[in-house]
Amino acid sequence: MAEKARSVDRACIELMEETKNFTIGSCWDRAEKQQPQCGFGLGGICCRICSMGPCQINPFGDEPKRGVCGADADTIAARNFIRMIAGGAAAHSDHGRGVAEVFQLAAKGEAPGYGIKDEQKLLQLAMDFGVEIGDRSVQDIAIDVGEVAMGIFGSQHGPIPFLKRAPLKRQALWRELGVEPRGVDREIVEIMHRTHIGVDMDPENLMLQGTRAALGDGWGGSMLATELQDILFHTPTPTLSRANLGVLEAEQVNIVIHGHEPLLSEMIVAVSQEPEMLKKAKAAGAKGINLAGICCTANEILMRHGVPLAGNFLQQESAIATGAVEAMVVDIQCLFASLPKVAECYHTKVITTAAKAKIPGATHIQFEEHDALNTARKIVNAAIENFPNRGKVRIPDVECDLIAGFSHETINYLLGGVFRASYKPLNDNIINGRIRGVAGVVGCNNTKCTHDNDHLTVVKELIANDVIVLQTGCSAIACAKEGLMLPEAAAKHAGPGLAEVCETVGIPPVLHMGSCVDNSRILMAAAAVVKEGGLGDDISDLPAAGSAPEWMSEKAISIGHYFVASGVYTVFGATFPTLGAPGFTDLLFNKYEKIVGGKWDFEPDPLAHARKMIDHIDKKRRALGLDKAKERVLMDMAARRELEKEFEEQPAG
Ligand code: NFS
């Protein structure tokens, strides 16, 4: 079999020879050493839940058909699958809880460096939570909002308040199915209970609980993380930046921030601009201090400060291989255990900062919320002190401009203008067929795929077919590096209808909406489009689809399932963790559509993957009676003036 290329990213390819020198190999070398991988594990039909096992089911119909306790392939796969949801929902929600804790301290004035930056959003949240506004001070309102937010994690009876943001029909369906989350944590705990040996064995019933926990993530923990981060650090607006390893600076102290929470990285951004720090950097022989990000911490500080992206998940080792990184500062999630070992071959200091996430061999500098600025100063100092230890530097000359910062509020504003922020122009253009539909393309990198290739193929095919693409996570970083997040990408890559709309509004055809907890922004946008009218009365009526072409983490499964449970057809690439259990897979891929209006699908070929999404979008257009409108005449001047009139109040640019 011909060897699959490791990456299509030019910076990664350039560093490939260098990464082969790592004493523990690169992630690609280690992936090769794992081959062939266990078929039972891949198919989701290996059960390690009790010590009578591991039990494995023969997927080809011969014995063994059942585990020692009698569980068959479908029960085993269902238990494994919802445990993945629990892992993912726990990760997002615990991130949200961490933000809520700092939010509470900030509201009380007990966390120097933090404050309320978006009062408008605070008031909105206060209304959602039923917190009295009146003539109370911002501080008093924030204290109460923080209290309610913390309560949502531990609440026992629910339903959690953000469900009310969904279309009414969706809310009624969740109520009817009994899947409204009672509290974020409770649903995760109940998954662990139900999947313990000898409890819930019915795949459909297990999935109802999986659904409840996933909704507690999307409309609970993740949405809380996004909302509270926006209030603490401001809601993103369009911002110009750059992406790929070429953003590292040969003559500056480079600090790469990697992980997921913006709590500490926001402080590092502030501190690295202090004159005192710059003076120290110069004294160490550097011309300045340069910050760049990896994974979702990168997306957070990109969206709010324009800090450039060094790369996505599979570039964390390559970043160190440039020899130009003085410190890689990590917080939580998606960190390779290999980092300190890789760093041993260079001068890079790997600095862990979260009590929850330590890596053997790394330096630990504990992030103290009460004293965050000083924690950040310690870290920046450590990086500066490391500058003189540099060896050979090989920064690939590869980078690309991008525009990020498309929060749900910003899209609303850009489309509708300052006086009538609205999604109406988007809905109108979907109805008239200039835009065929909307896709959310999100998620990770996976060594099972050629790095970035599947994201780029899927997204290019979608926009070429007039589907506007909303992005988060490492998928967004892949497209940013490719230049798809620039307005000029519309003329180059988008179909004629989408290109016209992008040109008129001045937006790229691919919109960066943030980190993975910010998939909640996509839920908000979907709900807003339904509320705007003309495209049905539920998210499941929209000509829309979701995708994670190179997913790898449990968080992706939780995200995928809250999209499905919110009514979205969602396709995953790379691999799918239930394929050894045909009955359970049929539930996810087929029957689920009748239950929640959305369903799962799997397609590892990226072109076929995009085609499936487009076919689904067309199916929804037909159901809405919009298929005729798609036959458009080429735009003449009168039609163009008409389109411009629709956008007359939107700001220039
Ligand atoms: Ni999402 Fe963001 Fe990237 Fe995947 Fe990891 S960083 S939270 S899990 S790898 S997209």
pLDDT, average across residues 491-505: 96
**Cα–Cα distance, 159 to 128 (Å, whole number):** 13
**Cα–Cα distance, 225 to 229 (Å, whole number):** 6
Q: Which H or E run includes 267?
A: helix 262-271
Q: Does the beta carbon of 443 lie inside 6 Å of ligand 1?
A: yes
Work out the pLDDT band at 413, boundaries 50, 70, 90.
confident
Q: Does the beta carbon of 474 lie inside 6 Å of ligand 1?
A: yes
Q: Does the beta carbon of 444 lie inside 6 Å of ligand 1?
A: yes
Q: What is the 3-state secondary structure (H, E, C) of 97-117?
A: HHHHHHHHHHHCCCCCCCCCC
Distance from the CA of 462 to the center of ligand 1, in angstroms?
A: 22
**Cα–Cα distance, 276 to 458 (Å, whole number):** 47
Q: Does the beta carbon of 314 lie inside 6 Å of ligand 1?
A: no
pLDDT value of residue 3: 67
Show the domains of the chain with their CATH numbers. 3-56 (no CATH), 73-233 (1.20.1270.30), 245-389 (3.40.50.2030), 406-623 (3.40.50.2030)
Give tens-digit pLDDT for 3-36: 679 999 999 999 999 998 899 999 999 999 999 9
Complete DSSP assignment for 488-532: THHHHHS-HHHHHHHHHHT--SEEE--SSTTHHHHHHHHHHHHHH
CB-neighbour burial class of residue 87 (10 A; exposed 0-12, middle 13-18, buried 19+): middle
DSSP code of residue 354: B
Q: Does the beta carbon of 516 lie inside 6 Å of ligand 1?
A: yes
Distance from the CA of 61 to the center of ligand 1, in angstroms?
A: 36
Give tens-digit pLDDT for 444-483: 999 999 999 999 999 999 999 999 999 999 999 999 999 9
Q: Across-strand partners of 256?
A: 292, 328
CB-neighbour burial class of residue 124 (10 A; exposed 0-12, middle 13-18, buried 19+): middle
Q: Does the beta carbon of 295 lie inside 6 Å of ligand 1?
A: yes
Residue 326 has pLDDT above 90, yes or no: yes
Beta strands in 358-407 (DSSP E): 363-364, 400-404
Give tens-digit pLDDT for 583-636: 999 999 999 999 999 999 999 999 999 999 999 999 999 999 998 644 444 555
pLDDT, average across residues 41-54: 98
Q: Does the beta carbon of 395 lie inside 6 Å of ligand 1?
A: no
The owner of tokens 């209030």 is: 231
Mutate which of 296, 300, 335 for ligand 1? The one with the most ligand atoms within 8 Å of its CB, which is 296
Distance from the CA of 294 to the center of ligand 1, in angstroms?
A: 10
Distance from the CA of 126 to the center of ligand 1, in angstroms?
A: 30
Mutate which of 555, 557, 562, 572 for ligand 1? The one with the most ligand atoms within 8 Å of its CB, which is 555
Whose CA is closest to 614, among 476, 458, 500? 458
**Cα–Cα distance, 55 to 67 (Å, whole number):** 5
Q: Across-strand partners of 56?
A: 46
pLDDT value of residue 418: 57
User: Which has the higher per-residue pLDDT, 123 or 2?
Assistant: 123
Q: Does the beta carbon of 569 lie inside 6 Å of ligand 1?
A: no
Give tens-digit pLDDT for 115-167: 999 999 999 999 999 999 999 999 999 999 999 999 999 999 989 999 999 99
Whose CA is closest to 116, among 140, 95, 132? 140
Distance from the CA of 49 to the center of ligand 1, in angstroms?
A: 26
Q: Does the beta carbon of 27 lie inside 6 Å of ligand 1?
A: no
pLDDT value of residue 653: 33
pLDDT, average across residues 503-510: 95
Work out the pLDDT band at 415, boundaries 50, 70, 90.
confident
Percent with pLDDT over 90 in the chain:
92
Q: Does the beta carbon of 92 lie inside 6 Å of ligand 1?
A: no
End-to-end, the C-alpha distance of the chain in Å comes to 50
Q: Which two tokens stand for residue 626?
A: 């919009």
Distance from the CA of 442 to the center of ligand 1, in angstroms?
A: 9
Ligand 1: which atom is nearest the Cα of residue 515? 2
Q: Considering only CA atoms, which residue is closest to atom 7 of ligand 1?
A: 516
Q: Considering only CA atoms, which residue is closest to atom 4 of ligand 1?
A: 444
Work out the pLDDT band at 651, boundaries 50, 70, 90.
very low
Q: Does the beta carbon of 309 lie inside 6 Å of ligand 1?
A: no
pLDDT value of residue 1: 42
Distance from the CA of 516 to the center of ligand 1, in angstroms?
A: 6
Percent with pLDDT over 70 in the chain:
95
Q: Considering only CA atoms, which residue is closest to atom 9 of ligand 1?
A: 444
Residue 184 has pLDDT above 60, yes or no: yes
Residue 652 has pLDDT above 50, yes or no: no
Torsional sign, CA 297, 299, 301, 307: positive
Q: Which two tokens stand for residue 552?
A: 């790898």
Q: What is the mean pLDDT of the chain?
A: 95
Distance from the CA of 623 to the center of ligand 1, in angstroms?
A: 34
Q: Does the beta carbon of 142 lie inside 6 Å of ligand 1?
A: no
Q: Which H or E run includes 259?
A: strand 253-259
Torsional sign, CA 441, 442, 443, 446: positive
